[in-house]
Amino acid sequence: MSETTDMITDAATRLFSEQCTPRVLAEAEQGVFPSTLWSGVEDNGIASMLAAEAHGGIAASPGVALAVMRVAGRHAVPLPLAETMVGRWLLSKAGIGAATGPLALVVLRRPDGWKVEGTGTARVLRGTEPAVAWGKASGGVLVVVRDGAGIGVATVDSQRLKVDSRTNIAGEPRDGLTADGVSVRFSPVSAVSLEAVMHMVSLCRAGLICGALQRTLELSVGYACDRVQFGRPLAKFQAIQQQLAELAGAVASATAIANATANVVEGEHGDLMIAAMRARLAGAIDTGTAVSHQVHGAMGFTREYALHYYTRRLWAWRDEYDSAAEWRERLGRAFAGAPADELWSRLARIGVASGTQ
């Protein structure tokens, strides 16, 4: 297992450090899809890694996915990686062969979004989703919908949708997509809940977040060591050291909860660990972005210096796939009213993975 992790993370590190150049990142924000980078993602087996071997994947564990996504986050990869990985995982669970190309992912759980009408395999998609990650650029939009006791998926070509091109604070595509009665082919997915999809995509995004946080720390430490004021590097000032230590603590806390959650995400209390992880990630992002910008001074407040590729993504990702507040509320609701003498035993069973290292 650890060999697989090393192989695929090494491949990802090579690919992303070579190809996620400042130019590629800047062009992506201008709407240029990085197709060479995407080919590398496909060639290295990253996009399909969660899918079963029969569907072109390696059935990677959540922990391996997290490790690879951390590498991607550290390089600000401008692609719908989490969406495609989780989308192909779902398609594989549905017994459908791997799609090609990047996927957008729409998990229907709001009353005012898309509706999938009808029954059976031929269904009709109607309504508007306001902010679909990489909706237009992806080509394929995978819709996940509750269906009776289970869920189902349908893929729709984005060319059949009305597109309102938008971007988030990080300049990543978040398109408004309108379907006027588009017919889609519906496939049921067994043994996966709508919540499980949200959990898996949250975990992949957590990898991106941890990687980006790590990069803000590296950039901040590097800058503090290089930048000289009052005759010495910023790093030698206690006030700066104390802030960087706080930043390092925030990054460590994010990494720790993500590592732990990856081990238990598919277990009995995976929902509560995901909620805790999402809540903590948002807190770590608040601290991490504030401190890294403060340490960088005016330089961080430019588009010339790379810090913004990470901090703007972090600000965007805090509240995507449900907001941090919603995740906090779920976690709090699960324990509100717990008798004082039961709280510990109920908390202690969450997030404990047994077995040998």
Partner 1 sequence: MDTNAAFEFPAARFPASIENLRVEVRQFLSGERRSGALSRPDSVSMVVSLDFTRKLAAHGWIGMTWSREYGGHEKTALERYAVTEELLAVCAPVRAHWVADRQTAGVLLRFGTKAQKRKYLPKIAAGEWFFTPGLSEPDAGSDLASLRTRATRVDGGWRLSGTKTWNSNSHVAQFTLVLCRTEPAGEDRHQGLTRLIVDLASPGITIRPIINLAGEHDFNELTFEDVFVPDENLVGEAGKGWNQATTELAYERSGPERWMSSFRLLAELTEALGKNASAAACQQLGGVLAQLLTLRQMSMSVAAALEAGRTPNLEAAIVKDLGTCFEQELVRVARELINSEGIDIWDTARRLADVLESAQLWSICYTIRGGSKEIMRGVIARGLGLR
Per CB under 8 A, 195 contacts partner 1: no
Please identify which residue in 71, 94, 277, 316 interacts with partner 1, judged by CB under 8 A: 277
| Position 256 contacts partner 1 (CB under 8 A) | yes
- With binding defined as CB under 8 A, does residue 251 bind partner 1? yes
Contacts of 114 (CB under 8 A, 6+ apart): 106, 108, 125, 126, 127, 128, 129, 143, 179
Helix (H) or strand (E) holding 116: strand 115-117
Tell whether residue 202 is a contact of partner 1 (CB under 8 A).
no
Q: Return the DSSP state at 162.
A: E
| C-alpha to C-alpha distance for 261 and 255, rounded to whole angstroms | 10
Binding pattern to partner 1, positions 206-245, x when CB under 8 A? --------x--xx--xx-xx---------xx-x-xxx-xx
Spatial CA neighbour of 158 closest among 172, 179, 173, 174: 179
Opening angle at CA 109, ends 198 and 269, nearest 5: 40
The whole-angstrom separation of Cα 172 and Cα 190 is 32
343 is a contact residue toward partner 1 (CB under 8 A)? yes
Beta bridge partners of 155: 142
- Decide: is 275 part of the binding site for partner 1 (CB under 8 A): yes
- By DSSP bridging, strand 122-133 and strand 115-117 are antiparallel
- Applying the rule CB under 8 A, the residues between 46 and 85 that interact with partner 1 are 63
Among 259, 305, 306, 320, binds partner 1 (CB under 8 A): 259
CB-nearer residue toward partner 1: 96 or 306:
306
Q: Which of 155, 255, 289, 311 forms a contact with partner 1 (CB under 8 A)?
A: 255
Cβ atoms 81, 72 nearer than 8 A? yes
Closest distance to partner 1 from the beta carbon of 323 (Å): 10
Backbone phi, psi, residue 8, to 5°:
-75, -35
Stretch that binds partner 1, among 9-17, 39-47, 196-204, 334-342 (CB under 8 A): 334-342
User: Of residues 109, 160, 166, 328, which one binds partner 1 by CB under 8 A?
Assistant: 328
List residues binding partner 1 (CB under 8 A).
63, 214, 217-218, 221-222, 224-225, 235-236, 238, 240-242, 244-246, 248-249, 251-253, 255-257, 259-260, 262-263, 272-273, 275-280, 283, 325, 327-333, 335-341, 343-345, 347-348, 350-357
